[in-house]
Amino acid sequence: MGHKNIMIIPLYTHAETLPDFLQTSDFGVVDSTPEGLSLVFDNDILGLKDFSQPKVGAVIVDFTADAIAYRASRSSIKNEAIAKAAGLKGNTETHIIDATAGLGRDSFMLMTLGAQVSMLERSPVVAALLQDGLRRAEASRQLGPDFTQRLQFKPGQAYTLLTEWHEPKPDVIYLDPMFPHKKKSALVKKEMRLFQQLLGHDEDADVLLPPALTLAQKRVVVKRPDYAPFLAGETPSMQIKSKKHRFDVYLTNA
């Protein structure tokens, strides 16, 4: 980020003080946040910044970033564990709800692999970052004219949205709740450290599994660290493992 035209937005701010594209009820008001964290609107990019760590850059959502684009360009249904877990097939389009979207990276990967993805996010702050990333990606036109149709966003509590879903049922529901790291490490990415500082851990994640199992037509996929217990104590139908994570797959056949 540069240093011109910077707007610092404390996280307890009200929506009227936000840039025009964020002046919606989707952002709302955040009443209680860790001291030092702020949203920073710098050179038309919204980021989450911890001013107690001035050497650490802001966390942003950038769907056109080199690293993301590089991985996406080299990814295929055959070599990505997430694609196998979601049951993606090249000849059919799969509708996936990512109920814990976060920075949207898994959603973006699923989209590049051919899925249509609906992202859900309950944190107003993270939702603001996602909205900004989608806005800039659409404006850049690097990701094709159908980008916003294939990767959509709905702010709100996942449990409420899943239980009150009135649109066509998704084929797959994807859950990646935050889970405590096994031990503190300098290798933990800056965005994960900031997210844990901002949001804590998803202690209520277990409640998402029942409505997800009810709504998904084919399967529910839960991404977990390799040392984490099953979500809600439910044994999955099968597992797909990667280097640091596993995907617990619950077949629904709804």
The distance in angstroms from the start CA to the end CA of the chain is: 47
Give the residue numbers of the binding site for S-adenosyl-L-methionine. 105-106, 121-122, 176
And the tokens for 129?
A: 């970052």
Give the residue numbers of the binding site. 105-106, 121-122, 176
At 165 the three-state DSSP class reads coil
182: left (phi over 0), alpha (psi -120 to 50) or beta: alpha
| C-alpha–C-alpha distance, residues 170 and 134, integer Å | 21
Burial class, 209, CB count within 10 angstroms (exposed 0-12 / middle 13-18 / buried 19+): buried
Residue 153 burial (CB count, 10 A): 20
Residue of 158, 119, 162 lying closest to 137 (CA atoms): 119
